Amino acid sequence: MSNGLRQVVVICAAAWLSACAVQSNKTLPRQPAEPAPTAPVVGPTPQAEPKPEPPPTPKLDLHARLRDQLQSPTCSGTESVDRWARLYGGKPERFAAHIERIHPLLDYVLRGIEQRQLPGEFALIPLIESDYNPAARARSGPAGMWQFTADTARSRGLRVNNSVDERMLPGPATEAALGLLEHYFDTYQSWQLAMASYNAGGFRIRKLLERTPLRADQQLPDGTPRGTREYLDKLNAWRCLFVSPERYGLALPEVPDPEPLVLRPARPELRSLDVVTQVTGLSAQQIAAWNPTLARSGFAQNAAAWLLPESAHQAIDEFAAQLARGEVELPPPREHEIRAGDTLSGIAKRYGLTTAQLMRLNRLNAHSILRIGQRIQLEQ
């Protein structure tokens, strides 16, 4: 390289380095600093005022629930109503014991009425019909707590045959009765006409109303049978006894509300009433009062469902589960030893079975010969 060219390169390099030095000394513009976050001012935490607790819902007893459900909650007794009220009420001790006896079934019927939003007066019908006795049977044919005829019962879906009569079972019979009363009440919007239809027959009351419409001051149409009018007086008498018992020198008993009865499918594996009494701790009389057609030795054969307190159903379910796991055993089936004069029909009646059930259990027929000393089964 020539000296002149070397000087030019040196000069250019010096100039470039000088320019770079100037460029490197430039201060880059700074981003504006973000303001420091301000710490929140923490003061004393305000104490939340306690919310006022809602007032406790009063627990209505059975009698109060019934009075609340009545469409006519006052007692306007006529001479006939007062006469029946005194007859039904009787002496104070007898009246109190009577009301206490019917409590479980009255509660069961009233719960069905509350669920369907029907007049509470309908809960008084079994008092007139049967005195809340599921085993009641009239000579003219009606049977059960609601006193259904066989034809009416079948029309409402109840089974009535040689093996079972569901008119005698409070659970199915109550469902059928309330369904019928609900139909009448929806038709007329009058509990008096609904009850008249229940007593005298829906067709008859409908024809009377078609012939002579009801006047404003009437509860029942012209031509209503005398017995049906008296039926209404009887119901009003019971209404007065629950609304104003003091009017007749009486008082409703102060007893704890019963444990609700519940209708559940039967557990045939338990086989007999004896087993159920042992498992539930209930007496045979209590169980029979709620399930009168459940024969002493044939629970499974005589009912598809049992009406029992919830705690009894729970005990039965637990025992059935233990039975399935092989943790418990059933006692051997009961037997009857044939004696002189025994007949199949007589044996069946003695143990609460039908003759047909007894023959099926022992594979017998109408021509079978019973021998003294022979043992026949009463349970499966």
62-248: CATH topology: Lysozyme (1.10.530)
Model confidence at 358, pLDDT cuts 50, 70, 90, reads: confident
- The set of residues, in sequence order, having a beta carbon less than 8 Å from that of 96 and lying 6+ positions away, is 250, 251, 252, 253
Half-sphere exposure in the Cβ direction for 327 (13 Å, CA): 7
Greater model confidence, 199 or 22: 199
DSSP-assigned letters across all residues of 244-301: -GGGGT------PPPPPEEEEE--GGG-SHHHHHHHH---HHHHHHH-TTS-TT-HHH
- Ranked by mean pLDDT, the top range of 29-38, 133-142, 267-276, 344-353 is 133-142
CATH of 335-377, one of 3.40.50.720, 3.40.50.1400, 3.90.1150.10, 3.10.350.10: 3.10.350.10
Model confidence at 380, pLDDT cuts 50, 70, 90, reads: low
State the pLDDT at residue 16.
Answer: 40
305 bridge partner residues? 265
Least confident of 148-162, 233-247, 266-280, 291-305: 291-305
Greater model confidence, 300 or 80: 80
CA distances from 38 to 33, 34, 42, 43 (A): 14, 11, 12, 15
- Going by the DSSP 8-state scheme, the letter that residue 358 receives in this structure is H
* Residue 187 reports pLDDT greater than 80: yes
Greater model confidence, 251 or 56: 251
Greater model confidence, 28 or 373: 373
Comma-separated ranges of CATH 3.10.350.10 domains in the chain: 335-377
State the pLDDT at residue 361.
Answer: 83
Comma-separated ranges of CATH 1.10.530.10 domains in the chain: 62-248
Lookup: tokens for 19: 């320019």
Sign of CA dihedral 59, 62, 68, 69: positive
Kindly state the average pLDDT of the residues 81-94.
Answer: 95
Least confident of 59-73, 197-211, 274-288, 295-309: 295-309
Model confidence at 60, pLDDT cuts 50, 70, 90, reads: low
Greater model confidence, 219 or 9: 219
With DSSP H G I counted as helix, E B as strand and the rest as coil, what are the percentages for the chain, rounded to 5? 50, 5, 40
Burial 322-347 (b: 16+ CB within 10 A, else e): ebeeeeeeeeeeeebebeeebebeeb
Query: Does the global pTM surpass 0.85?
Result: no
Looking at the chain, the whole-number percentage of residues with pLDDT higher than 70 is: 81
Chain mean pLDDT for the chain: 83
